[in-house]
Each structure stands twice: as structure tokens, then as C-alpha cells.
Structure 1
Amino acid sequence: MKKQLQTEINKIKNTLWNMSDHLYENPEIGDQEFKSMQLLVDYLKEHQFEVETGLVNRPTAFKATFKSKKAGPTIAYLAEYDALPGVGHGCGHNLIGTMSVGAAITLSKLVGETGGNVVVLGTPAEETNGAKVPMSEESIFDDIDVAMILHPSDQSYKSGESLAMDAIQYSYTGKSSHAAASPEKGINALDSVIQLFNGINALREHVPSDVRIHGIISEGGQAANVVPDKATAQFYIRASDRQTLNEVVEKVKYIAEGAALMTGAKLAISNYELSYDNMITNEKLSDVFTSNLQSVDKQKIYDAKQGTGSIDMGNVSQVVPAIHPYIGLNQPGLIAHTTEFADKTITEDGHQTLVNGALALAKTGLDILVDTDLFNSIQKEFKQS
């Protein structure tokens, strides 16, 4: 049956290449990917997928479903298609979206025989305000048994971990005054922000080594001779797991409150982006995918990268068995979020990566559909984790 998958993807590979190149040439940023979404869903409809758009109040989110007439697991492939401002598809989301669509269409040609269902979830704004977060919270994954996404990179890596992350804004309100003539009548909100930074820097000595806290002053006054009455800092706070992150966030809150007390300013704390949970790779599922990728792509597959960033796929992995591996573009050292990375996606290497990735994803889905023991072991690991 895997030979049939190869035959099926060969039928559509030219279309997939053209779609990926079109996304590269017409990049759209998060939650504005209207044409990108339409391109993907139109092709899925051509292959008899039923499509629902506007999921979780996100206009460019979608769910495309192909149902067989036999019972079996539901395999979901997650598509990303948002670009970076000024860079375009420097993270390769044009490949991610088309790989997932290609894998789903390829696998759909066999589910009449194997049973089960195939789903593509279009997940906007991964770079900023990832739609996978509300999707995980609002029952989108309730009827899904396994979720997979494949990310392009310089080289291939197994699925690994990511850091849990909160994006928190600390806004201070003071009282303006003439900084030279009447400084005693002012309350300096910027002083609170500076003390917040100082307190966080002192905290770094007393947190686990995996914790990352980095921020900016997004508002700090308008003129040097006016006491700033408004000042705001934005931070990303990360840790290896949600429990540790929550503890660190609480400590930073106390620092922020102390900074307000020191100056007399008032403090408001809010989240300026959605929170991401840590990624929990389903190792059984990862092993199967790694084997399938190796069967179609002779590049070396390295052990998982150390988790230093945060992805909204982490939230998915909390509610369903999931993997987030990386497939190489055959250029070691290539750096993501650059125009060079984007340009690589439309080369011959980029096109081959697309086909290899889609085929490996489809093969993994097929393994799950035909091997009940494998499916049960994946579910057992997920429940235990």
C-alpha cells in the first residue's frame, strides 16, 4: 500500500510545487492569510474534502475532512501558511501548508480500503498569536486521534520539546509633571519599568537553567523634560513546563508590584499574545515517522533540537498525541526567518523536501490506520504522559 502512496503523490506533486511557490510569491501575515487559505481549501475541495472555515472565530482557520465509510482512527495534518513581515516565508510555512495538504490528499486515496478519516486543520498566525491555542481549548481536537506537522529546517531533526511561554505586558500609570520645575509633583512610570527590569535581572540567579525571560520597553515617555506618566514593558517568559512557568510568572508579578510600590505608580498586567504550552512529543509516533522519513529522504536525521523556543503545537500535544519534527532543506547552517530561507523553499531542494515530507507524513498516517497495535501503543503513551 505504501507503493500506492508514492503513485498518488506523484500525480499531484507538480500542483503542490506550484501552490508552494504561489504562497512564496504572495505572502500574507498572520490572521490575514485569506488568499493563502483559499488556495489550500480549494484544492482540498477538488479532492472531495468537506471544508469548514472560520474556526474559533479566526476567519483564516479551517478544517477539511475526508471520511471513509469504515471505522478507524482520525489522522490530522496541521497546516501553517502565515508569513513574516518584511521577510515573507522565511520560516517555510509555504512548505508546511502544502506538505500537510499533500499528505492528506495522498492518504485519502487509501482510506476507502483501510477505514478511518483524514483531516487537515488550517492553523493561522503561528508566528504571532497561534490559532492552535484556541483550537486546543475549544474541542477542535476532540474527534482527532493523532496530530502531525512537519517543519522545514536546514537539516532533519526528530520531534522534540519546546518551552512553555507567556507573553506578559506590565503597564504603569504615574503622573506627569515638569521634570525640572516641578519634579516633586510627578510620579515617574518609567522608573517603575526600570525597577522591574532590575528585579527580573536579580531573579535570574534563582530560577532553573531552562527559564528564559526577555523583554522590551514598548513605551517610556515622550520628552526628557516631562515626567513619564505612562510606561510599558513587554516580556516573554519561558520554561520547560507549564508548572515551572507559572511559578516564575508569579515571582515576576511580585517584582512588578514591588516596582509600582517603589514609585507610587499604578500597575496593570495583561497578556499581549496567547500563551503556549510545552511540546510533549509522542515518542512512539515520532519513531514511526522518523523511519518513514528515512525511507524517502536519505539525509541524516539528527536527534531532537534542544527546546529553546516556543510553538503553539505544544498546546496541541497536551490534548492529542502529536509530533513536530523537522525536515532538512539540504543546506546545513541555513538560518530561519531570513529571506535566504524563504528563497530556498522554491528551489529544487525545496520542491524535493515538499514531496518527501508529504510522503513521509502520509506513510505514517497509513501505518496508524492499518496497525491497531501501533495505534493503541501511541494512545497508551499519550495517556501515561
Structure 2
Amino acid sequence: MKELLKNNLEAIQNRLWEMNDILYDHPELGDEEFESMKLLVEFLEQHQFSVEKGIVGRPTAFKAVYDSKKDGPTIAYLSEYDALPEVGHGCGHNMIGTMSAGAGVILSKVVDEIGGRVIVLGTPAEETNGAKVPMAEQGVFDDIDAAMILHPADESYESGDSLAMDAIQFDFRGRTSHAAASPEKGINALDAVIQLFNGINALRQHVTSDVRIHGIIKEGGVAANIVPDKAIAQFYVRAKDRNYLNEVVKKVINIAEGASSMTGADLHIENYELSYDNMVTNQTLSELFTSNLLTTGVKRVKKAKESYGSIDMGNVSHVVPAIHPYIGLDSPGLIAHTREFANLTITDNSHKILARGALALALTGYDLITNKEVLEKVKNEFRQA
């Protein structure tokens, strides 16, 4: 049967390569991926998937289902297809979206015989306001047994962890006045932002080493001779564990409130992007995927590398067994979010790598459906975690 899966790949791989390159040529930013979504949806519909678009209130999100009508597990593959400003697909989401759609189709060709369901979820805006967050919150994964996504990288790595993250905006409002003639009449909102930065810099010494706090001044005044009545700072606050992150965020908010008291500026706090939870890799599922990936021609898969980024797949991993491994583009040291990375995703070698990734995802889904013992082990690990 696994040989049949390989044959199913060969039947569609030329189309997968075409779609990958089309996505590269027409990059779309998060929540604007209308043509990217259309491309993937049409491919899945051509292979008898039933598709619901615009799920969880996100116009470019979708849920594509192939149901065997027989009892069995439900396997989900997650597609990303948002690009980066100016850089294009410098994070390889053209490959991610195509590999997941391809894996879904490959596996769908055998589920009529082995049972179960295959779902491909279109998950927009991973780089900014990830749609996996409301999907996890609104029950999209409630009837799913395992969720997988595969990310290109310089080399292949096992699924690991990621940092939980909150994106927080601090909006200070003061009062304008002439900065030279009557400064005493003004309330300087920019001073409040500066005190916020100073306080956060002092806090860094007293948090664990995994914490990352980094921000910008989005607005800070309009002219040097006018006391700024509006100043806005935006920060990402990250930590390995969601509970500890919540503690750190409280401290950052206390600093902001102190800056407000010191300067007299009013303060409004809000999240300007959705919060991401830390990634909890299901090790049983990860080992299963790694073993399948090594059968496709990938020669080496390294242990998970320490991550200081944040991904919305983390939220998924808190509600369903999940993995987020990496497949190498045979370019050690390659840096993501660069044009060099984007350009590498459309080479002949990367096409072959894409095909291996799609096949490995499909093989892993097949194992979960046909091996009840392995699936139960995956679920038991998730319940304990």
C-alpha cells in the first residue's frame, strides 16, 4: 500500500511543482492570500475534496475534507501560503502550502480502502495574525486525531518547541503645548514611552534567559517644538512557557502603568496581533514522521534546534497531537526571511525536496490510520502532556 502512495505522488508531483512556483511568482500578504487560496482549493476540489471557505471569520482560510465514509482516524495537514513584505516567500510558505495539499491528495487516494478522513486546512497569516489561533479556539480541531505541518529550512530537523508570544501595544495620550514657551502646560506622551523602554531594559536582568522582549516606537510626536500628546510603542514578549509568559507580561504592564503615573499620560493597552502559545511536540508522532522522511531520500534529520521564534502551530499543539518538523533545502546556514531563501524554493532540487516532504506527510498519515497501537500511543502522550 505504501508503494501505492508513492505512485500517487508521481501522478501529481508535476502539478505540485507548478503550484509551488505560481505561489512564489505571486506572493500575497497575510489575510490577502485570495489567489493563493484559490489555487490550492481548486487543486483539492479537482481531487474530490469538499471545501468550505472563509472559516473562523477569515476570508482566505479554508477547510477541505475527503471522507471515506468508513470508520477511522481523521488526519489534518495544515497549509500556509502568506508571504513577507518585499521579500516574498522568504519563509517558504509556497512549499508548505503545496506539501500539505499534496499530502492530503496522496493519502485521500487510499482512505476509501483503509478508512478515515483527510483534512487540509488553509491557515492564513502565520507571519502576523495566525488563523490557527481562532481555529484552535473555535473547535476546528475537535474531531481531528493528529495535525501536521512541514516547514522548509536550511537542513532537516525534528519537530521541536517554540516560544509563547504576546503582541502588546501601549498607547499613551498626553497634552500638547509649546515645548519652549510653555512646556509646563504639556503632558509628554513620548516621555512615557521612553520610561517604558527604560523599565523593560531593567526588567531583562530579572527574567529567565529564554525570555525575549523587543519593541519599537510606532508614533512619537510630530515636531520637536511641540510636546507630543500621542506616543505608541509595540512589543513582542516571548517565553518558552505560556504560564511564565503571563507572569512576564504582568510585569511589563506594571512598568507601563508606572510610566503613565510618572508622566501623567493616560494609557491604553491592547494586543495588536493574536497571541501564540508555545509549541508542544508530540514525540511519538515526531519519531514516526522522521522515520518516514528518511525513507523518501532525505539522508539526515537533525535533532530539534532551540527555537526563539513563535508559531501559531503552538496553539494547535495544545488542543490536538501535533508536529512542526523542518525539511532541509540542502543549504546549511541558509537564513529565513530573505530573498535568497525565497529563490531557493523554486530550484529543481527544492522541487524534489517538496515531493519528499509531501510523501513523508502522507506516509505518516497512513501509519496513523492503519496502526491503532501507534495512534493510541500518540493520544496517550498528548493526554499526559
**TM-score of the superposition, structure 2-length normalised?**
0.99
What is the match of residue 291 of structure 1? 291
How far does residue 9 in structure 1 lie from its aligned partner after superposition? 0.3
SS for the counterpart of 1:52 is strand
What is the match of residue 209 of structure 1? 209
Which string of whole-angstrom CA distances, capped at 9 and with x for unpartnered residues, describes residues 85-124 of structure 1?
1111111111001100110000001111111000000000
Distance in 2 of aligned mates of 1:198 and 1:28: 37
Output the amino acid matched with 1:223: A
Which string of whole-angstrom CA distances, capped at 9 and with x for unpartnered residues, describes residues 210-263 of structure 1?
111000110100111110000111000000011000000001111100001101
How far does residue 69 in structure 1 lie from its aligned partner after superposition? 2.3
What is the match of residue 130 of structure 2? 130
CA contact under 8 A between 1:216 and 1:233: conserved in structure 2?
A: yes
Output the amino acid matched with 1:371: N
1:348 equivalent in alignment to 2:348: yes
What is the match of residue 261 of structure 1? 261
Map residues 147-186 of structure 1 onto 2, 5 A cutoff: 147-186=147-186
Output the amino acid matched with 1:325: P
Which string of whole-angstrom CA distances, capped at 9 and with x for unpartnered residues, describes residues 322-362 of structure 1?
00000001111111111111111110111011100000000
Output the amino acid matched with 1:171: D
1:61 equivalent in alignment to 2:61: yes
Output the amino acid matched with 1:381: E
Ranges of 4+ aligned residues in structure 1 off by more than 3 Å: none
Which string of whole-angstrom CA distances, capped at 9 and with x for unpartnered residues, describes residues 179-209 of structure 1?
0000000000000001001111111111111
SS for the counterpart of 2:278 is coil
Distance in 1 of aligned mates of 2:54 and 2:139: 15
CA contact under 8 A between 1:176 and 1:187: conserved in structure 2?
A: yes
SS for the counterpart of 1:225 is coil
SS for the counterpart of 1:157 is coil
What is the match of residue 12 of structure 1? 12
Map residues 36-55 of structure 1 onto 2, 5 A cutoff: 36-55=36-55
Which string of whole-angstrom CA distances, capped at 9 and with x for unpartnered residues, describes residues 263-315 of structure 1?
11111000000000000000000000000001113332111010200000000
Distance in 1 of aligned mates of 2:265 and 2:380: 52
Output the amino acid matched with 1:353: I
Output the amino acid matched with 1:267: L
SS for the counterpart of 1:108 is helix
What is the match of residue 72 of structure 2? 72
CA contact under 8 A between 1:154 and 1:330: conserved in structure 2?
A: yes
What is the match of residue 88 of structure 2? 88
Runs of 5+ consecutive residues of structure 1 not aligned to the other structure: none
SS for the counterpart of 2:4 is helix
SS for the counterpart of 1:30 is coil
CA contact under 8 A between 2:49 and 2:66: conserved in structure 1?
A: yes
What is the match of residue 309 of structure 1? 309
Which string of whole-angstrom CA distances, capped at 9 and with x for unpartnered residues, describes residues 130-181 of structure 1?
0000000001111111000000001000000000000000110011000000
**TM-score of the superposition, structure 1-length normalised?**
0.99
Output the amino acid matched with 1:246: N
Output the amino acid matched with 1:157: Y
Output the amino acid matched with 1:282: N
Runs of 5+ consecutive residues of structure 2 not aligned to the other structure: none
CA contact under 8 A between 1:62 and 1:121: conserved in structure 2?
A: yes
What is the match of residue 337 of structure 2? 337
1:374 equivalent in alignment to 2:374: yes
CA contact under 8 A between 1:156 and 1:299: conserved in structure 2?
A: no
Q: Percent identity?
A: 68
Output the amino acid matched with 2:163: L
CA contact under 8 A between 2:125 and 2:131: conserved in structure 1?
A: yes
CA contact under 8 A between 2:298 and 2:356: conserved in structure 1?
A: no
How far does residue 379 in structure 1 lie from its aligned partner after superposition? 0.3
1:358 equivalent in alignment to 2:345: no
What is the match of residue 192 of structure 1? 192
Q: Aligned residues, how many?
A: 385
